[in-house]
Amino acid sequence: MTLIRELDTGTPIRVADTTVTLTIDGQSVTVPKGTSIMAAAASMGTQVPKLCATDSLEPFGSCRLCIVQIEGRRGYPASCTTPAEEGLVVHTENSAIAKRRRGVMELYISDHPLNCLTCSANGDCELQDMAGKVGLREVRYGYDGANHLAAPTDESNPYFTFEASKCIACSRCVRACEETQGTFALTMEGRGFASKISAGGTDFMGSECVSCGACVQACPTATLNEKSVIALGTPEHSVVTTCAYCGVGCSFKAEMKGETVVRMVPYKDGKANAGHSCVKGRFAFGYATHKDRKTKPMIRAAITDPWQEVSWEEAIAHAASEFKRIQAQYGRDSVGGITSSRCTNEETFLVQKLIRGAFGNNNVDTCARVCHSPTGYGLSATLGTSAGTQDFASVDHSDMILVIGANPTDGHPVFASRMKRRLRAGAKLIVADPRRIDLVRSPHIEAQHHLPLLPGTNVALLNAMAHVVVTEGLIAEDYVRERCDLAEFENWARFIALEKNSPEASEALTGVPAAEVRSAARLFATGGNAAIYYGLGVTEHSQGTTTVMAMANLSMATGNIGKLGAGVNPLRGQNNVQGACDMGSFPHELTGYRHISDDAAREMFESFWGVPISADPGLRIPNMLDDAVEGTFKALYIQGEDIAQSDPDTQHVTAGLQAMECIVVQDLFLNETAKYAHVFLPGSSFLEKDGTFTNAERRINRVRKVMSPLGGLADWEATAALSNALGFPMNYSHPGEIMDEIASLTPSFAGVSYAKLDAEGSLQWPCNETAPLGTPMMHVDRFVRGKGRFMLTEFVPTEERTGALFPLILTTGRILSQYNVGAQTRRTENSRWHEEDVLEIHPFDAESRGVQDGDLVALESRSGDIALRARVSERMQPGVVYTTFHHAKTGANVITTDFSDWATNCPEYKVTAVQVRRTNRPSEWQARFFDEDVSLTRIAAPLDAAE
């Protein structure tokens, strides 16, 4: 294995309808119009020396190393800033050019430390490479004059250093922060010799920097360098794999030394990220080898007993015998399982196969239940498929973007950077969110409309926007007539035109001024290609499904589905939540969203697997817990989920878990759910196995093993072992064989194989005979369901109400540096940015309660209470407070309710009536949490150690 080095063409190869042909060093080359001479030369294999250029950035033309000669033109133009033109005759090398380049390089080197042999970037430094390439053999100027060799080093960022003495002032970092990331944290201060890079006059940690790593990636020297490279040395080989955090699905090169990850470098050919990254995927991989990893299987008879380490064979045999005992005693349906959106498609497929084939029921569910299940239901009903309509690149063609219930800069940062690029290029923006999220106003971006609606009123707001479209004649009539069910449309149009759906009538519900809604609706309908991007602020409501349908209605009514720059686009949460849904993780669906009552689909599986499959939908997670409390549901196999922390109404969840007789938890860590478990199977991280993840664009990306599983088995191997012990054989030698089985059982995956994924890089389903290379955009000429279906979206307020006792509404969300329950990110330096969950509260609400910034406050709801620190913030609106749920000890879900979406049971995390008051101690639940953390996680000394 070698270190993968992608070609750097210096400046981007442009996309254009016309081409130009020129001659470079005697060779004819044709490139799209607008491409630079440097990139044209690179495309024919000639690398012109360069320092300030790199092809992820626009040309800058400062270093003068890339000079060329053009016949008929005077001087030595920079090839990075000179466009290729028809008929040009260019020379990239001759003695005059070489002499000038050596002169330029001599100046750089004369102000650069000459410790190449001991430099952390030795062998991976463009300055070093270029010095060799231009043939620099001597430096005539000494270090006696003014220089930068004593410039200080900034070590403040936990992941990278800024060693100013090595800076060549090429400005690639500044431009990367602006163009690639869109944060504008860096500037070039001063001019000429005095010019230096500044992080806003402070150190990196104190600046606006979000630690995305784009500047580190762009830096041609060791000035910006990963601390892991400094500690471990330059990597030796690399493997392309996929980030295991969010649904953007960024591709990375895991750069390795043996089985140690030295760094994760965003992969330029990754179709979801095109070489960009965020702080999590780029830097927060240390959890995979954290000392908290549990790598030995363990069992115990009761949760109050200490864990006993055992062999894999013993743990699997014990789990299998418990499941058999419980089914014999309480019936076939008394057991079930939960698949993981953190695990691969292949692993998820095996867990649902085990439940359907070995347990003999459909009691399988997934964490998508608690996040995007309304997406599946709502988009399936209206458009005919349970997934987003576009690829990420589509946003490059959007003229108008509506972001609702999503905070992309924190939740989906790499896609947010792409969206921000489009916004800086002139696309218009509407943000519908109770909070003033960063996107509302950030460098060079300002939303045309921020609609700060009250949590729980998405449907009323979208109905009001649709009302404007219908009553002001803004319907895309030809589109609707041609592509949608007309009777359904007319029915919907009559409903939506009712006065109760007008912006004026809705204002009292949403809190958004009617004039603002009218103006936003007009902009959406008339602003060109209009795209909707949404997140859990849409789905995690009692009307989550209705909101998804309302967005589909609005997009169809304005002709914004089935074309570039448009669509209804769920920003999926976890890395493989799309895949977990695709793989048949729901109790009513087989892979590819075929209903379990579909005889033909079921028969296909029955004949392949050789077992009968129940035609009855199984239990959803909340039903499993309810039945456990009732005493009829007794055992659960949970792979890679922590429902005790992530699911709402913690006390109810833990009551359900405590009532069961056997819980098998398969995870990297002894998580909150494991406190109630009887068998612990060590999980494997994404670095330890092969497989695939499917991102929010339906893109199937390969996950590749770079190190051996620390616990000995990959998750898919453990599931197969359990299934074999239960008497339902699973014999695979590699996850590629599991994908072959998925492909043969799932029409939308029929054309997917590891060989094709390796050849193409990734594939977006549907991938089959009609679309052998996948489907970037859905519903192009017709909707998957045939005619687009407008659904009636009556606004029904949540039953959760504010009142005298609980006058505020709590809504929840994520922040950039932590991820979900924090199991991974809390075990990395990312905690430096977010050590604890805090409560954001508007100054008015804070002042009226005597609460000051940093005070400990009690947060109480009808479900329970917790204590956390207050952060007084103008981002909030009066009456609404906000927190995250990244730290188990906070117990954010102790206070959320068990209200849920009418169609899918997706919990209503986003609306909880609460009261806030000052306090000086943790809540009762929190005090108990700390006790249980000790009492329910004890591990007995190994038997041989005791002897």
Q: Which listed option, ligand SF4, ligand FES, none, makes contact with residue 533 (CB within 5 to 8 Å by class)?
A: none
* Burial classification of residue 393, based on how many CB atoms lie within 10 Å of its CB (0-12 exposed, 13-18 middle, 19 or more buried): middle
Find the shortest distance in angstroms from Cβ 416 to ligand SF4: 8
Report the residue from 63, 459, 636, 838 that binds ligand FES according to the rule CB under 6 A. Answer: 63
Task: Tell me the backbone φ, ψ of residue 656, rounded to 5 degrees.
Answer: -65, -45
Q: Which listed option, ligand SF4, ligand FES, none, makes contact with residue 50 (CB within 5 to 8 Å by class)?
A: ligand FES
Q: Which stretch binds ligand FES (CB under 6 A): 57-65, 94-102, 270-278, 826-834?
A: 57-65
Segments of 80-165 assigned E as strands: 89-91, 153-154, 160-163
858 binds ligand FES (CB under 6 A): no
Q: Which listed option, ligand SF4, ligand FES, none, makes contact with residue 64 (CB within 5 to 8 Å by class)?
A: ligand FES
CB 554 within 8 A of CB 432: no
Q: Residue 11 or 893: which CB sits closer to ligand FES?
A: 11
879 binds ligand FES (CB under 6 A): no
CB 544 within 8 A of CB 906: yes
36 binds ligand FES (CB under 6 A): no
77 binds ligand FES (CB under 6 A): no
CA distance 181 to 672: 35
Q: Which listed option, ligand FES, ligand SF4, none, makes contact with residue 78 (CB within 5 to 8 Å by class)?
A: ligand FES
Find the shortest distance in angstroms from Cβ 127 to ligand SF4: 8
Q: Which of 475, 464, 556, 569 is nearest to 514 (CA)?
A: 464
CA distance 301 to 580: 31
The helix (run of H) or strand (run of E) holding residue 31 is: strand 27-32
Find the shortest distance in angstroms from Cβ 130 to ligand SF4: 12
Asked whether the CA dihedral 389, 390, 396, 402 is positive or negative, the reply is positive
Find the shortest distance in angstroms from Cβ 192 to ligand SF4: 14
Q: Which stretch binds ligand FES (CB under 6 A): 50-58, 293-301, 439-447, 905-913?
A: 50-58
Find the shortest distance in angstroms from Cβ 125 to ligand FES: 16
Amino acid identity of residue 587, one-letter, is P
What is the CA angle 199-201-204, rounded to 5? 35
Find the shortest distance in angstroms from Cβ 60 to ligand FES: 7
CB 372 within 8 A of CB 572: yes
Q: Which pair of structure tokens corresponds to residue 686?
A: 């994404």
CA distance 634 to 254: 42
Bridge partners for 188 per DSSP: 197
Find the shortest distance in angstroms from Cβ 36 to ligand FES: 9
Find the shortest distance in angstroms from Cβ 214 to ligand FES: 18
Beta strand pairing status for 27-32 and 19-24? antiparallel
What residues contact 144, with CB distance under 8 A and at least 6 apart? none
Q: Residue 66 or 739: which CB sits closer to ligand FES?
A: 66
Torsion angle in degrees (nearest 10) through CA of 28, 34, 38, 41: -20
DSSP string, 401-449: EEEES--HHHHSHHHHHHHHHHHHTT-EEEEE-SS--GGGEETTEE-SE
168 binds ligand FES (CB under 6 A): no
Q: Which listed option, ligand SF4, ligand FES, none, makes contact with residue 130 (CB within 5 to 8 Å by class)?
A: none
Q: Which of 228, 386, 414 is nearest to 829 (CA)?
A: 228
Q: Which listed option, ligand SF4, ligand FES, none, makes contact with residue 62 (CB within 5 to 8 Å by class)?
A: ligand FES
Q: Which stretch binds ligand FES (CB under 6 A): 21-29, 62-70, 633-641, 760-768?
A: 62-70
Q: Which of 396, 408, 374 is nearest to 533 (CA)?
A: 408
Report the residue from 29, 41, 42, 65 that binds ligand FES according to the rule CB under 6 A. Answer: 65
717-736: which residues touch ligand FES (CB under 6 A)? Answer: none
Q: Which listed option, ligand FES, ligand SF4, none, makes contact with residue 277 (CB within 5 to 8 Å by class)?
A: ligand SF4
39 binds ligand FES (CB under 6 A): no
Bridge partners for 637 per DSSP: 337, 664
174 binds ligand FES (CB under 6 A): no
Q: Residue 414 or 635: which CB sits closer to ligand SF4?
A: 414
CB 217 within 8 A of CB 266: yes
90 binds ligand FES (CB under 6 A): no
CB atoms within 10 A of CB 318: 20
Q: Residue 68 or 895: which CB sits closer to ligand FES?
A: 68
What residues contact 835, with CB distance under 8 A and at least 6 apart? none
* Burial classification of residue 137, based on how many CB atoms lie within 10 Å of its CB (0-12 exposed, 13-18 middle, 19 or more buried): exposed
CA distance 47 to 8: 9
Q: Which listed option, ligand FES, ligand SF4, none, makes contact with residue 218 (CB within 5 to 8 Å by class)?
A: ligand SF4
Q: Residue 100 or 849: which CB sits closer to ligand FES?
A: 100
Q: Which of 33, 40, 29 is nearest to 17 (CA)?
A: 33
Q: Which listed option, ligand FES, ligand SF4, none, makes contact with residue 551 (CB within 5 to 8 Å by class)?
A: none
Find the shortest distance in angstroms from Cβ 15 to ligand FES: 21
Q: Residue 277 or 501: which CB sits closer to ligand SF4?
A: 277
Q: Residue 65 or 431: which CB sits closer to ligand FES?
A: 65
Q: Which of 232, 211, 336 is nearest to 278 (CA)?
A: 211
DSSP string, 502-546: SHHHHHHHH---HHHHHHHHHHHHHSSSEEEEE-HHHHSSTTHHH
Find the shortest distance in angstroms from Cβ 276 to ligand SF4: 8
Q: Residue 501 or 824: which CB sits closer to ligand SF4?
A: 824
Beta strand pairing status for 880-884 and 808-813? parallel
Report the residue from 35, 56, 62, 591 that binds ligand FES according to the rule CB under 6 A. Answer: 62
437-466: which residues touch ligand FES (CB under 6 A)? Answer: none
Find the shortest distance in angstroms from Cβ 534 to ligand FES: 41
Find the shortest distance in angstroms from Cβ 97 to ligand FES: 13
Find the shortest distance in angstroms from Cβ 373 to ligand SF4: 21
Q: Residue 104 or 767: which CB sits closer to ligand FES?
A: 104
Bridge partners for 869 per DSSP: 838, 856
Find the shortest distance in angstroms from Cβ 221 to ligand SF4: 5
Beta strand pairing status for 679-682 and 224-226? unpaired
Report the residue from 22, 37, 42, 52 that binds ligand FES according to the rule CB under 6 A. Answer: 52
Q: Which listed option, ligand SF4, ligand FES, none, makes contact with residue 65 (CB within 5 to 8 Å by class)?
A: ligand FES
Find the shortest distance in angstroms from Cβ 110 to ligand FES: 18
Q: Residue 52 or 568: which CB sits closer to ligand FES?
A: 52
Find the shortest distance in angstroms from Cβ 38 to ligand FES: 7
Report the residue from 14, 33, 64, 237 that binds ligand FES according to the rule CB under 6 A. Answer: 64
Residues near ligand SF4 (CB under 6 A): 167-173, 176-177, 181, 183, 185-186, 197, 209-215, 218-221, 223-224, 243, 245-246, 248-250, 273, 277-278, 280-281, 412-414
Asked whether the CA dihedral 399, 404, 409, 411 is positive or negative, the reply is negative
Q: Residue 60 or 676: which CB sits closer to ligand SF4?
A: 60
Q: Which of 771, 753, 243, 770 is nearest to 762 (CA)?
A: 753
173 binds ligand FES (CB under 6 A): no
Task: Summarize as ranges the residues that interact with ligand FES (CB under 6 A).
Answer: 50-53, 61-66, 78, 80
